[in-house]
Amino acid sequence: MDIEASKAREVLAANGPDEVSRRISLLRGSMAREGIDVFYVGLSTDLEYLAGIERPLHQYGRLRFWADWVIGGVVGPEGTPVLMLTRHLTKGHLNELGAPIRGLEVVVVNESDEPTEVVAATLRRIAGRDPRTIAINVDAPAALALNLRSIFPAATVSIDTQILATLRSVKSDAELAAMADACELVDRTYEHALGIVRPDMTEIELAREIDAHMISLGAVAPSFKTDIWTMGPSEKRTVGERARDQPIGTGTSLNFDFGAGLRGYCSDFGRTVFIGKPPTRYIEAYGLVVGAQAAGAAALRPGTSASEVDRQARAVIEAGGYGEWFWHRLGHSIGKDTHEPPFLDITDDTLLEEGMCFTIEPSIFIPGEFGCRVEDVYVVTREGGRRMNHVSAEMRTV
């Protein structure tokens, strides 16, 4: 990936005028079918998707502002959608990476305003009357729902869990291009890590090196906490005990789990490398994991249920005699968030559509013996899953 060329692209892949217009149009179509007068999308990943409002980076302390419950995009049946902002957010923290706001009317709420009055006037103008049905997205603040019910007591205010999730699950060409860049970035970072890993290096040191390398290649931030952990006869730990300040050592399986945030989208990547000479059972298990991923990818076609993809991949590991050690779902949708619905899980019967993106990440984790996993991002196509990562999944030793 040409880093300078990547930096010259849109800061957010969602932010082109055609993308914003297309998404608002799709949302309005769903609103009409569901009888929704106004859809209020609070400050969240959904708002970045709909309107190009950048999410803050991961942090311990959440940024809070006066009357921040009003922040969001308000979409009616027609006309220009409104972006509600507070003055403080607008002046100092709005789209710090520089993404422009397109296709929305901006309404700023000042400290001298009464927020409920501004919201009431805006929603009446957008709906052409007092709205009868108002939907808010599932990640909007609870204060927004409570205030809307107070402002419009005769209206039905509902929390929608499906409409935006369904829209976000199928990726456009612009989104797929951003995700391909994020996947290439982690591929390069993994190859870098293989060149520097040493038995005397600690897990935390390796995790920090991975994070620093992703940032040097242009990532905004890791898309989730980078996890590095070993499993082996001398390591009785479970898969949940990760990234310790201890040497990696030898005779262990070294597990990688990391991803990058880039241009508003995420990657999620996993591999296992054996430090030393791998035992026969590890070689056998690793081959089953690779085979399970291939079976899942082959099943990743439009019209197939998410649960069926999980079943077909899981059957490979079960037939090999390691089924009890593959304890988690096969994968999850991925895009602007690392984990999105739908899920490749026995509980999810969603029918797949072309353009959906999923991780496929089968594993065999046996505490006190070894762990092995491969994880890549795939796009649903008519020919089966197209892998967006390009680094090899072959067994590697150090």
Helix H, strand E, coil C: the string for 79-115 is: CCCEEEEEHHHHHHCCCCCCCCCCCCEEEEECCCCCH
CA distance linking residue 7 with residue 262, whole number of Å: 10
Residue 38 · residue 76 · CB < 8 Å: yes
CA distance linking residue 215 with residue 261, whole number of Å: 9
pLDDT in tens, the chain (398 residues): 454 455 456 889 888 889 999 999 999 999 999 999 999 999 999 999 999 888 876 667 777 889 999 999 999 999 999 999 999 999 988 998 888 898 899 999 999 999 999 999 999 999 999 999 999 999 999 999 999 999 999 999 999 999 999 999 999 999 999 999 999 999 999 999 999 999 999 999 999 999 999 999 999 999 999 999 999 998 777 777 777 888 999 999 999 999 999 999 999 999 999 999 999 999 999 999 999 999 999 999 999 999 999 999 999 999 999 999 999 999 999 999 999 999 999 999 999 999 999 999 999 999 999 999 999 999 999 999 999 999 999 999 99
| C-alpha 72 chain-centroid distance | 20
Please give the structure tokens belonging to residue 360.
Answer: 């496929």
The ranges assigned to domains in the chain are 3-168, 170-397
CA distance linking residue 72 with residue 85, whole number of Å: 7
- The answer to whether the Cα torsion of 245, 250, 251, 253 is positive or negative is positive
* Conformational region of residue 249, where left means phi above 0, alpha means psi within -120 to 50, and beta covers everything else: left
3-state secondary structure of 187: helix
- The answer to whether the Cα torsion of 95, 84, 63, 90 is positive or negative is positive
Please determine, looking at this structure, whether the domain spanning 3-168 carries the CATH number 3.50.50.60. no
Return the residue matching tokens 């013996």: 369
Q: Do domains 3-168 and 170-397 have the same CATH topology?
A: no
pLDDT of residue 56: 75
- Describe the strand order of the beta sheet including 260-262 as a list of residue ranges: 221-222, 260-262, 265-266
Residue 172 · residue 22 · CB < 8 Å: yes
pLDDT of residue 1: 47
The secondary structure of 306-351 as a DSSP string is HHHHHHHHHHHHHHTT-GGG--S-SEEE-SSSSSEEEEESTT--PB
Cβ neighbours for 318, distance < 8 A, ≥ 6 positions apart: 326
3-state secondary structure of 13: helix
Q: What does the radius of gyration of the chain's CA atoms come to, in whole angstroms?
A: 23
Within the chain, strands assigned E span: 38-42, 72-75, 82-86, 105-109, 133-137, 156-160, 221-222, 227-231, 252-258, 260-262, 265-266, 269-275, 331-333, 340-344, 357-360, 363-366, 370-373, 376-379, 386-387, 396-397
pLDDT of residue 195: 96
- CATH numeric code, 170-397: 3.90.230.10
Residue 371, amino acid: G
CA distance linking residue 125 with residue 274, whole number of Å: 63
pTM for the predicted model, two decimal places: 0.93
User: Residue 187 CB: number of other CB atoms within 10 A?
Assistant: 19
Task: Name the packing angle between helices 142-151 and 115-127 (round to 10°).
Answer: 70
| C-alpha 264 chain-centroid distance | 10
CA distance linking residue 112 with residue 388, whole number of Å: 50
- The residues with which 305 forms a beta bridge, in sequence order, are 351
Please give the structure tokens belonging to residue 33.
Answer: 């079918």
CA distance linking residue 226 with residue 214, whole number of Å: 11
How many residues would you count in the chain? 398
Cβ neighbours for 21, distance < 8 A, ≥ 6 positions apart: 103
